[in-house]
Chains A and B, each alone.
Chain A
Amino acid sequence: MKNNNSLSNLEIGCITFFLTRCSYIGVTISLLAFLLKQDAWIGFLMGIIIGLIPLIMYLYIIKYKPDFNIFEIIESLFGKVIGKILIGIILVLIGYYTLMVFANVCYFIGSQFLHQTPIIVIAIAFMIPIVYGLFKGIKIIGRVSILLFIIAMILIFLLLIGLIPSADLNNIKPIFEHGFLNNIKDCLVFIFYNVLPLFVISVIPKDKNNSKSFNKYVIIFYLLSSFISLSTLIIILTVLGPDLAILYQYPEFHVLKQAQLIGFLNRLESILSMQWSFSFFITISVNLYFIVTAIKREVKKINIEKPIIVLLCLLLVIININILKNNTLGNEILLKYLPPFMLVGLLIVPFIIFIKIVLNSYKEKHISKS
C-alpha cells in the first residue's frame, strides 16, 4: 500500500454513502420487515434520525485532533496500554463485521445469481479487486467510490421509476400498528447495522484544507444514502407487501423482478442490483484498510502491508467457506450475536472516547481560564 494520501471530502462522502447502504441488503430490510411489518419504514425513518447521534459523536471524535487517525487519538487519550486494549476491541469487532458483510455478499450472489457456482469461486472473485484496491491505497478506493456513486445513483433512479407504478399504498396500512415505543426499540436495527459501521471513516486521512466542510459532507451523504434506502424499503413494502417481504430471502432483490422501464424493458434485476455489490466492495475495502492501518502502526519498521492484506483476505475466505457453511448459520450469527458486539465495540467504546475528549476539553478550558 502506498503512503496515505488524504481523501477529499467528496471521496469520504461517497465512502460514507456506501458504508451506510451496505447492510441494508439481506439484513436491515428483512429484519425490520420481520419486526415491524408494514411499519418497517417508520422504524427505518426513526433510525435515520436517531442514528445522527452516534454519527455526530464519531465526527466529534474525529475532529478532536484532525491530524491524528483514531488509533493515535485513543492512545493519546488513554495511554498505550488501555489504548491498545480499546483498539483491540474495536479491531476485533470491525473484523467480525467485515466477515459478516463478506459472508452476506457471498450468500446473496450464491443463492440468487450463481447458484451452481461454488462459494469459494465467488469469494475469490470478489476478493481479488478488493486486494488490488487495497494494494493501490485508500486514495484509489476514494476515487473509485466517486465513480461507483455516480453509477449507483443512476441505477437507483431506474430502480425507483421502474417500481413506483407497481406500488400499492394500502400495503403499508395500518400505520403505527405496533406503537411508537416498539418503533423506537426496533429502529436500533438500523443503527446497529447501518450507522455504527461508519466509525471506520475515523481512520481515513482527511484533506486538511477543507476540514471545515468535512462534517457537512459526511452528514449529507449519510442522509442521502439513508433516505434512498428508506424509499427502497417503502417500495418493497408497497409492491410486495410486508408478508412477502418477510417470506423472501433478499426481498430487495425479488422486488426488482417486477421492475419495468418504458413499458417493455423488464428482467432488469441483475443490472439494477449491481449497485449493492459496490456497497459491499467499498465497505470491505475500507474495513480492511482500518485493520491494516492498525496493524501497520504496531509493526513500524518492516514493510508488511501487502502480506497482511493478503493474509486478512485469505482468512476471510477460509472462515467464510469452512465455518459459515450455510446462510442459516450466518444469519443466526449476524442477527443474534453481532449486535451485542457492535454495541460494545462501536458504541460503548466510542462513547468512552467521546466522554474522555469532552472531559479533556473541559479541563483545558478550565486551565486556560485560570
Chain B
Amino acid sequence: MKYKILISLILMFLLTGCWNYRELNEIAVCTGIAIDKDDKNYVVSVLIANSKKPEVSSKEGEAQSSIYVGSGETITSALEIIDTKIPKELYLAHLDTVVISKDVAKEGVYKTIDFLLRNPNSRRQFYVVVSKEKKANDILKILSPLESFPSENIATNIQSSLQVESSIIEIKYNEYLKTLLEDGIEPVLTSVSVIGNTTAGEKIENIEESEADTYIKLDNAAIFRDDKFISFASTNETIAINMLTNRSKYTSLNFKCGSSYFVIQISYIKTKPKVKVVDDKIEYTFDVVTNASVGEDNCNMDLTNPKVIDNLTNQTVRQLHTILSESINAFKYEYKSDVLGLGQILYRNNPKYFNQVKDKWDSIYPNVKVNLNIKVKLKTKGAAENTVRGYLSEKQ
C-alpha cells in the first residue's frame, strides 16, 4: 500500500506538466510580429498583448499592447535581444499576424519564417502579410477602435472582408508554405498599408476620435515568384486570383451608365479548371459559374423587363471576361508568375506530361492558352422589385 501511495505522489508531480510550468503573468503573449531589415540585420518587432498600462487604461488593470524591437543576424537572435528587454518569456502560441516588409519579401520569405516553422509553441495558424509601408513595424503600431490589438485587427479584417468581397487574399502560413513547396504554383500574400500619419496612429488619441485619422487598410495581393516578392497586383488581378482559384465567393462589379452606376453583386463563384494537351500545346478552360443579384440601380433600368435582366447578365459576363482575361495576361507576361496554379492543374490532370516539362515550365507558362467560359445567373434584384424612380414614373 505504501509504495502505491508513493508512486501516486510521484506521478502527480511528474504527469501534470509541472516541469516547465509557467504562470500567465510570467509569459508575454505575442500576437503580432513584424520583420524588417536594415543593412545586415533583421529588425524584429513583437506585439505583446498582455502588457498593463494603468496610466492609459480606462479600466484599472486592463491589458494594452506594447511593442518591443530587437535586431540580430537571425530572427532567433533578434528575439533573444527582445527577451533581454522584457521581464517575461515570449510566448508565440497566440500569434495572429506576421508582417514582413517589402525588402524582406524581396529576399525571400521562407528564410525569415523558418523559425516559426520549427518553434514548437507556434501553431502556424497565423496570417502572413506584406507591408506596403517602408517599415513593417509601422503596421503593428497603428491602434484600431474596433479591435484590442493591431495584429488582431488585421486577422479579423482579413476574415470578415472575404465574406463581402474578393479584393484581398486570405492566406495563412501553412497554406503559404504549401504553395511554396508544390510545383506548378506560385504563392501570393495579402498586403497591408497605413492610411494617415503613422506617428499619430500609434497614439491613443487616434482612436478617441469618432473618425480615426490613421488606420490600417488591407490591400491587393502581393505576387511572388520562387518565394521572392515581385509586385503588388491590382484590384482586378486580385479578384481574378480569388475567383479562378475558388478562394472567394463574393464580389461586386460596377457598370457605368452616363453619369451613374449600377452594381451587380456576385454571391457564389465556382470555378472548374480543365486542361488538354494537343501536340505539345497546352490549353486551359476555366468554367466559371456565378450567382448574381442587382446590388444598386442608379440607372433607372426597368428591372421588371426580362430583356433588361438578360442585358445585365450579358454585360456582367463581358465585364468578368475582361477582368479575368486581362489579369491572366498580366500574370503570364508582366509578372511571369503562375499564381493561378496552371502548372498544378496540368500536374493533377496529366502528371506524365507535367513531369516532362516542369523544369522548363517558366518558359512554357506564358505560351499556354487560357479560355474562359463564364456563366452568370442573375437570380434576384434584392429586396426591391424596381427602382424608386421607376416606380414613381409608373405611378405618374
Binding site for B on A (CB under 8 A): 111-118, 121, 124-125, 128-129, 132, 170, 173-174, 177, 240-241, 243-244, 247, 254, 257-258, 267
Contacts and interface: CB of A to CB of B under 8 A. Distances in A.
Nearest to B15: A125
Contact of B120 (A112, A125, A170, A240): A112
Contact of B174 (A132, A177, A258): A258
Given A121-B14, A174-B349, A240 B174 contact: yes
Contacts of A114: 17, 19-20
Nearest to B17: A114
A114 B350 CA distance: 44
B11 A128 contact: yes
Interface string B158-188: 0000000000000000100110011000000
Contacts of B10: 128
Interface residues of B, number: 23
A244 B120 contact: no
A27 B187 CA distance: 30
The 10 closest A-B pairs by CB, nearest first: A243-B181, A116-B20, A173-B348, A125-B14, A117-B19, A174-B351, A115-B120, A177-B351, A241-B178, A257-B123
B24 interface: no
A325 B177 CA distance: 30
B265 to A, nearest CB: 25
A112 B348 CA distance: 33
B359 to A, nearest CB: 17
Contacts of B120: 111-113, 115
Contacts of A174: 347-351
Nearest to A112: B120
Nearest to B181: A243
A129 B11 contact: yes
Contact of B7 (A116, A132, A240, A258): A132
A81 B117 CA distance: 55
A257 B172 CA distance: 13
A241 B17 contact: no
5 contacts: A112-B120, A125-B15, A128-B10, A173-B349, A174-B349
Given A128-B14, A174-B349, A174-B351, 14 more contacts: A114-B17, A114-B20, A115-B120, A116-B19, A125-B11, A128-B11, A170-B348, A174-B348, A240-B174, A240-B178, A241-B178, A241-B182, A244-B174, A267-B123
Contacts of A240: 174, 178
B349 A128 contact: no
A117 B16 CA distance: 12
A121 B177 CA distance: 34
B102 interface: no
Q: What's the dominant secondary structure at chain A's contact region?
A: helix
A263 B328 CA distance: 35
B77 interface: no
B343 to A, nearest CB: 13
Contacts of B181: 241, 243-244, 247
Contacts of A112: 120
Contacts of A244: 174, 177-178, 181
Contact of A243 (B20, B123, B178): B178
A335 to B, nearest CB: 21
A116 B26 CA distance: 15
Contacts of B76: none
Contacts of A243: 178, 181-182
A128 B123 CA distance: 31
Interface in B294-347: 347
A241 B124 CA distance: 15
A258 B19 CA distance: 27
Contacts of A118: 19
Interface string B173-216: 01001100110000000000000000000000000000000000
B125 interface: yes
A143 to B, nearest CB: 18
Nearest to A267: B123
B17 A257 contact: no
Contacts of A113: 120
A129 B17 CA distance: 16
A273 B348 CA distance: 32
Contact of A128 (B7, B125, B182): B7
A78 B19 CA distance: 52
Contacts of A121: 14, 19
Nearest to A254: B124
A117 B123 CA distance: 19
Interface in B1-32: 7, 10-11, 14-15, 17, 19-20
Nearest to B182: A243
A243 B125 CA distance: 17
A121 B348 CA distance: 47
Contacts of B7: 128, 132
Given A132-B7, A243-B181, A257 B124 contact: yes
Nearest to A121: B19
A118 B19 CA distance: 9
Contacts of B17: 114
Contacts of A117: 19-20
A266 B139 CA distance: 27
A124 B11 contact: no
Contacts of A241: 178, 181-182
Nearest to B178: A241
Contacts of A267: 123
A114 B16 CA distance: 11
Contacts of B178: 240-241, 243-244
Nearest to A177: B351
Nearest to A129: B11
Contacts of A247: 117, 177, 181
B17 to A, nearest CB: 7
A115 B19 CA distance: 10
Contacts of B20: 114, 116-117
Contacts of B124: 254, 257
Interface string B332-375: 00000000000000011111000000000000000000000000
Nearest to A176: B351
Interface string B82-100: 0000000000000000000
Nearest to A248: B117
B11 A258 contact: no
Contacts of B177: 244, 247
Nearest to B345: A170
